[in-house]
Structure 1
Amino acid sequence: MWKRSNQRISGLFLITLGIIIITLILPVSAASVEENSESIADLQTALTVVWLIICGGIVFLMHAGFSLVEIGLTRVKNTTNILMKNFMTICLGIVVYWAVGWALMYGADAAGLIGSDQFFMTGADNGIWTSWWFQMVFAATGATIVSGAMAERTSFKAYLVYTIFMVGLIYPVFGHWVWSGAGILTSGPIVDTIGVVYHDFAGSSVVHMIGGFSALAGVLLVGPRIGKFNNGKPVVIPGHSLPLAFLGTLILAFGWVGFNGGSTLDGNDPYISLVIANTFLAAGAGAIIVLLITWMKTGKPDPSLTANGMLAGLVAITASCGSVASWAAVVIGLIAGIIVYAGVMFNEYTLKVDDPVGAIAVHGYSGAWGILSVGIFAIGQGNGIFADAAYTAAGAGLLYGGYQQFAIQVVGLILAVIWAFGISFIIFKILDAVMGLRVPEEDEIAGLDIKEHGMSAYPEFVLAKE
């Protein structure tokens, strides 16, 4: 009896103690949960800021990749000139995008065509500075594409002036149409008529097509390098360093981790890994198909074209990597590889234009394919592996029974070509009239390193040769 009584007292004591503890802890726990929720939200915000800063830094490194690709695929005598152009592209890009570019791209909308405030980043808070940093490194990339296509015969002064227009006008205006949320391709009559918004996840058109078709305008006006065509037939002018070209290609490919991965704009996004996986599936497929094509056509796999096949796959998947299944990414990359090979041949044998690095085919033509591929392969918002991702294409592609997404992609593609080629042609024409677009013949023959900058990138090599 005593033991049972003792057990009851102990049980009552424990129950009472438990009630007291719960009563005391509950308010504290509720407060703790609220504080923890705030802390988690702050951590998520901080993670996104850090993610965008890091991804912007990775994209910034792509300028080193562009530099190495361009000097590797051109001749020794123009190395310093190309390095200076690429270096000054990012330097000018930083300042011009701060002063004008951001405002025209993300300022208060004016008729869906252009931004109209925030010049010199007036009124920018910490969040806007993070976005500015990430967008700025994209802006300078468009001008770098032009640099490679017009290499070895273009005036350094003319290129610098053109870069200001590219970063301060050409890129941000089209960017406003696509990425501001208020432009003509994401709201207004075009969208209302078709029924869905234009989709370019990370820049197949905004960056690559704008750069590629601007380059086409410049190349047509500046003309081919001396000796590039003999009786209308293209002559191979070998670059001086395949190791540098391949190193540059791999640096550029790494840059796409920031380019596409960062374009989720959320460091907590659950689909970042899928976006990056699609990106590199397309890259690998692009390189493989070009290797096979050149091997079958000539009996030997072509190194520089194979490297461009990888870049073509990367460019093409940039628009759709957050909207398509992995098998589609492979198909997009394969077709991009075919396009870049055919595009290089078309430029040289039909258009008779001289693009030393294949930039027009890689960025312009493959970028256009990337835009169309959204309208073909996109699974559609609310469906498939990217079902709840805010950045996936709104409409389903042709393969999934939709047609609206394809229709607006065609409209966006046409506008990109007209805008980039048209405005660049006008600017280059004016620059040619005012200061001369092309260097004198004797300067081109001697090399732009000595004539434009007074020094060689490889002085020991030059002295030994002399």
Structure 2
Amino acid sequence: MEDISTTVSDIAMSIDNMWVLIATCLVMFMQAGFALVEVGFTRSKNAANILMKNMMDFAVGSLAFWALGYSIMFGEDIAGFIGSINLFYGPETIDGIPEVTKLMFQTVFAATAATIVSGAMAERTRFGAYLIYSLVITLVIYPISGHWTWGGGWLSEMGFIDFAGSTVVHSVGGWAALVGAALLGPRIGKYVNGKPKAIPGHNLVLGALGVFILWLGWFGFNPGSQLAASGKDNALAISHIFATTNLAAAAGALASMIISWMRYKRPSLSITLNGALGGLVGITAGCAAVSLGSAAIIGAISGVVLVFALEFVERTLKVDDPVGAVSVHGICGAVGTLLVGVFATEGGLLNGGGFAQLGVQAIGVFATMAWVLAASFLLFGAIKMTVGLRESQRVEEEGLDIYEHGETVYNTI
């Protein structure tokens, strides 16, 4: 009987491990989605630069997170703030699934947080400066706030719910993007007499394909965060998370299309694409904690908020964000995290839980926001004063591709 029990346990671990690794592959493929969205929403003269940045996000992020970030985020807790540092962590232990599998799964999440920043600062950032801030975000900024929630830190002790990272991943990238884009300044020609001017992307086909890839990848991002697939309870949880994720994306796309149609007299493709992403970001915190109906409502709210957030960032803050990363990831991530306190089936405001969970959610959202805004300001400020953040006017006007990389995506010869 002992041998049979051991065999069953081994099989369960193998199933769990395989599922998490498959989910890891789906999340890694989201890098392609981010790259296509960013390329499609920007001008062709910068396409090679954008692809290079997305490639380096994953390459640099993988090495940095392994070298230091993972231990800061998941090492033994120190005062609820940070994990104990273990350089070049090579985990070989098994706790449910092999620790090295968790390292791989969390690495692709870390790369996502860094990639979000790329879009907001596109078309005018020096490539060398980009490598520096991508490294630091993955190495320190993301892991520290991540430890608070997922590494046994003070927010997890309070009962903060962020199942797959609306705040831990997406808002971290969004707030860093806000600071970076603000300190960088708008693209040449974006504002005329203080009023924003549209700078259309060169290929919405690529942008739309990128969104579909991201939508697909989110089925690894959210359900993969269950970290197990064996047994009835895990099977039900994964299926539920698949459904909440999909419904929120669909509702976000529909709501943003309707609002854009009402406000601009046309159903905007670019806004609708971002609305789907806003719904996905919004549901990521509560995908395991809310009902299917609540997931659709959260997605719809995120889609509506997305439209007004785009206007606020561009017109009120006067921050030039070519792909809408601040609105999609920063603002929709915060909204989705707060809505867990409203819609959670256990402890949510609308399910008899009072305001307690909503209060905890608010503390988590604003504490993470404060940390990332402050750390990013120091990071981007230091880069700006030393190596410089922004390309010269000539390079920006003629395109980063030929000057930064000596090659272009679209060869017309």
- The normalised TM-score by structure 1 is 0.86
CA contact (8 A) 2:54 2:118 kept: yes
Does residue 184 in structure 1 map to residue 183 in structure 2?
A: no
> 2:57: which partner in 1?
89
Following the alignment from structure 2 to structure 1, what is the Cα–Cα distance between the partners of residues 52 and 220?
24
Following the alignment from structure 1 to structure 2, what is the Cα–Cα distance between the partners of residues 378 and 235?
41
One-letter identity of the residue aligned with 2:223 = G
> 2:34: which partner in 1?
66
Q: How does 1:294-313 map to 2 (within 5 A)?
A: 294-313=260-279
Q: SS of the counterpart of 2:162? A: coil
Q: SS of the counterpart of 1:296? A: helix
Note the C-alpha offset of 1:123. 5.1
CA contact (8 A) 1:118 1:124 kept: no
Following the alignment from structure 1 to structure 2, what is the Cα–Cα distance between the partners of residues 425 and 151?
18
Does residue 276 in structure 1 map to residue 242 in structure 2?
A: yes
Following the alignment from structure 1 to structure 2, what is the Cα–Cα distance between the partners of residues 433 and 331?
45
> 1:401: which partner in 2?
353
Following the alignment from structure 1 to structure 2, what is the Cα–Cα distance between the partners of residues 439 and 186?
41
Note the C-alpha offset of 1:42. 1.1
CA contact (8 A) 1:101 1:169 kept: yes
What is the Cα-based RMSD across aligned positions, in Å?
1.1
Q: 1:331 aligns with which of 275, 279, 297?
A: 297
Q: How does 1:251-266 map to 2 (within 5 A)?
A: 251-266=213-228
> 1:421: which partner in 2?
373
One-letter identity of the residue aligned with 2:189 = G
One-letter identity of the residue aligned with 1:59 = V
CA contact (8 A) 2:117 2:325 kept: yes
Q: 1:167 aligns with which of 138, 144, 151?
A: 138
Q: SS of the counterpart of 2:323? A: coil
CA contact (8 A) 2:90 2:100 kept: no
- The normalised TM-score by structure 2 is 0.96
Q: What are the Cα deviations for residues 35-83 of structure 1, in whole angstroms up to 9, with x where unaligned?
A: 3332222111000111111100100000000000000000000000000
Q: 1:246 aligns with which of 199, 204, 208?
A: 208
Q: 1:136 aligns with which of 107, 113, 116?
A: 107
Note the C-alpha offset of 1:295. 1.4
Q: What are the Cα deviations for residues 169-215 of structure 1, in whole angstroms up to 9, with x where unaligned?
A: 0110011000012x01122xxx3xxxxx1110000001000000010
Greater mean deviation of Cα atoms: 79-88 or 291-300? 291-300
CA contact (8 A) 1:377 1:400 kept: no
Q: How does 1:371-382 map to 2 (within 5 A)?
A: 371-380=337-346
Find runs of 4+ consecutive structure 1 residues off by over 6 angstroms: none
Q: 1:345 aligns with which of 304, 311, 314?
A: 311
> 1:361: which partner in 2?
327
Following the alignment from structure 1 to structure 2, what is the Cα–Cα distance between the partners of residues 396 and 349?
34
> 2:391: which partner in 1?
439
- How many pairs does the alignment contain? 406
CA contact (8 A) 1:105 1:172 kept: yes
> 2:160: which partner in 1?
198
Following the alignment from structure 2 to structure 1, what is the Cα–Cα distance between the partners of residues 274 and 301?
13
Following the alignment from structure 1 to structure 2, what is the Cα–Cα distance between the partners of residues 361 and 123?
37
% identical aligned pairs: 48
Q: What are the Cα deviations for residues 124-171 of structure 1, in whole angstroms up to 9, with x where unaligned?
A: 436110100000000011110000000000111001000111000011
> 1:449: which partner in 2?
401
Q: How does 1:109-120 map to 2 (within 5 A)?
A: 109-120=77-88
Following the alignment from structure 2 to structure 1, what is the Cα–Cα distance between the partners of residues 403 and 294?
49
Q: SS of the counterpart of 1:372? A: helix
Note the C-alpha offset of 1:93. 0.8
Following the alignment from structure 1 to structure 2, what is the Cα–Cα distance between the partners of residues 400 and 255?
34
CA contact (8 A) 1:289 1:337 kept: yes
Note the C-alpha offset of 1:399. 4.1
CA contact (8 A) 1:89 1:140 kept: yes
Note the C-alpha offset of 1:122. 4.5
Q: SS of the counterpart of 2:160? A: coil
Q: SS of the counterpart of 2:210? A: helix
Following the alignment from structure 1 to structure 2, what is the Cα–Cα distance between the partners of residues 118 and 327?
43
**Aligned in 2, Cα 1:399/1:308: closer, same or farther, shift over 3 Å?**
same
One-letter identity of the residue aligned with 2:356 = Q
- Specify the structure having the higher radius of gyration (Cα): 1
Q: What are the Cα deviations for residues 428-466 of structure 1, in whole angstroms up to 9, with x where unaligned?
A: 000001100000111100100011111111112xx4xxx
Q: 1:289 aligns with which of 248, 255, 259?
A: 255
Does residue 237 in structure 1 map to residue 199 in structure 2?
A: yes
One-letter identity of the residue aligned with 2:257 = L
One-letter identity of the residue aligned with 2:154 = I
One-letter identity of the residue aligned with 1:263 = S
Does residue 226 in structure 1 map to residue 226 in structure 2?
A: no
Following the alignment from structure 1 to structure 2, what is the Cα–Cα distance between the partners of residues 123 and 67?
31
Following the alignment from structure 1 to structure 2, what is the Cα–Cα distance between the partners of residues 263 and 368?
19
Q: What are the Cα deviations for residues 264-304 of structure 1, in whole angstroms up to 9, with x where unaligned?
A: 11112121011110001000000001111111222211001
Does residue 411 in structure 1 map to residue 382 in structure 2?
A: no
CA contact (8 A) 2:283 2:298 kept: yes
Following the alignment from structure 1 to structure 2, what is the Cα–Cα distance between the partners of residues 346 and 50?
43
> 1:5: which partner in 2?
none
